[in-house]
Amino acid sequence: MRFEAIAADPFAVSTDAIIVPLVAAKDGPIWSDFALQLDAALSGHLRELADENRFKARTGATFAVPTLGKLPAKRVILVGIGSSDSNAANALLTAGGAAARAARELGALSVVVALPESAKRDAEGQIEAIATGIGLGLYQFTKYKGAAVQETAVSPDLESVTFAAPGLSEGQATLGVRRAEAVIRAVNLARDLTNEPASTLTPAVMAERATEMASASGLEIEVLGPSELEAIGAAAILTVGGGSSNPPRLIRLRYRPDGVSEGERTVGLVGKAITFDTGGYSIKPYEGMLEMKGDMAGGAAVLGAMSALRDLRCPVTVEATICAAENMISGTSFRPGDIIRGMNGVTMEILSTDAEGRLVLADGLVDTARRGATELIDLATLTGAAVVALGEGTMAIFASDDRLAEQLQSAAKSAGERMWRLPLTEELERKIEGDVGDIKNSGGRAGGAITAALFLQHFAEDLPWAHLDIAGSSRQDRATSLGPKGATGVGVRTLLRYLLEA
């Protein structure tokens, strides 16, 4: 798909469909001057049909009308961006995805986006939001679809998207397009990895994909296998992966912007990448395993975000760690009652082998801190308790530092991702106090997301630290404006926004 931006009247551009964003008011859409021109060209039928079909311009709502040769565009697609006081970036993101999916369903191969009036004030930001929505909304994972199925069930993507407005600053617009393209690639890389079957995305293959990405994106990379992990004392990730025929990997990535020297601020990112989770001897029920190929979504989000840093000219150094392992069952698997000594000397008493994500993150956090990080952010599909607390589609954030939490929440809002802060309730620390070790890896069902975060805090090495539990938002069970059923790539947009605004 090709994006471009031109200073031109969108009314005059020949295309398969013209997308017209409209703001919602109490009684229906506010018809912009441009929309009224289209309505006049269609003899008043556009507005009449929209009213008859109760199009209210709610965020992401669409309504399409053929032009029957009366305009250079074959169709008009109206898309709602909600009320003027709604989150503008999120509304434009959703509208872009919804309109693009509607255009694809109608068979359009080219579209023109008539930019809203507000684009005159912020062409770069508005185009970035709409283009990002379009790229995310059109995502399809078709790698394993047979040729016959693809011909009948997979819709062809748009080939070109043109943003047009009279007097548009093409320089600013082009910057918005380029930023959107980098974000789209990053999110869709995370989605591809998370949708991949566990049989084809083992820890070693995850490391290979990271190596390919690092080479293409100008990043430094180091991959540690079992012998290297043993040498640095990474007993937790070795223990979790010890029952699998696919040994674990710890993937270290570094991005350093031009002109930045050692010793300055370094953001540490840590991602859980359990490429398949049986639960180990604390085995999951059948239903609980169905989506466990996606238990590496945190690592995928970190990998996706890292892939875009060079293109987006991120101003800060980033040290990233992806903790990749399979949690399988065999004679070499770890057991309830075992004791693991962490890299920082903290001993972990195993109550549940299904609470393995926090174990690999323990090694990842300490390793990242030792490599010079001045703050830590980890992402993980960690607990069902976070899903119970916040439902689907919302990330839980825990943080030891209020400023870091506020900045991440602001970044999530700007990026159009939902995040809610939960407390690190000190009284619940007693639930993970060890009997024969320092801490237990499970505090039971009540407050499970909080006790998991409290566990991780023992390995944050006294740095400002935030933990994002993405268990409820890493995948969706139905198609939305921003993509099909399956992996969402959640966290990538928030991380990128945070790092770029750092």
Per-residue pLDDT tens digits of the chain, which is 502 residues long:
999 999 999 999 999 999 999 999 988 999 999 999 999 999 999 999 999 999 999 999 999 999 999 999 999 999 999 987 666 778 999 999 999 999 999 999 999 999 876 666 788 999 999 999 999 999 999 999 887 666 655 567 899 999 999 888 888 899 999 999 999 999 999 999 999 999 999 999 999 999 999 999 999 999 999 999 999 999 999 999 999 999 999 999 999 998 776 668 999 999 999 999 999 999 999 999 999 999 999 999 999 999 999 999 999 999 999 999 999 999 999 999 999 999 999 999 999 999 999 999 999 999 999 999 999 999 999 999 999 999 999 999 999 999 999 999 999 999 999 999 999 999 999 999 999 999 999 999 999 999 999 999 999 999 999 999 999 999 999 999 999 999 999 999 999 999 999 7
As a whole number of angstroms, the distance between CA 165 and CA 48 comes to 25
Q: Which of 121, 104, 123 is nearest to 163 (CA)?
A: 123
Residues carrying an active site annotation: 284, 358
Reduced to 3 states (helix: H, G, I; strand: E, B; else coil), residue 39 is helix
465 in Cβ contact with 366 (< 8 Å): no
- Residues 491, 492, 498, CA angle at the centre, nearest 5°? 85
Nearest to 236 by CA among 456, 396, 397, 398: 456
- DSSP letter at 431 equals G
Query: In whole angstroms, how far apart are CA 320 and each of 89, 124, 150, 214, 487?
Result: 28, 29, 37, 12, 21
Closest CA to 201 of 143, 122, 264: 143
Q: Could you tell me if 458 and 440 are in contact, meaning their C-beta atoms sit under 8 angstroms apart?
A: no
Judged on CB neighbours under 10 Å (0-12, 13-18, 19+), 174 is middle
Domains of the chain: 2-166 (3.40.220.10), 187-500 (3.40.630.10)
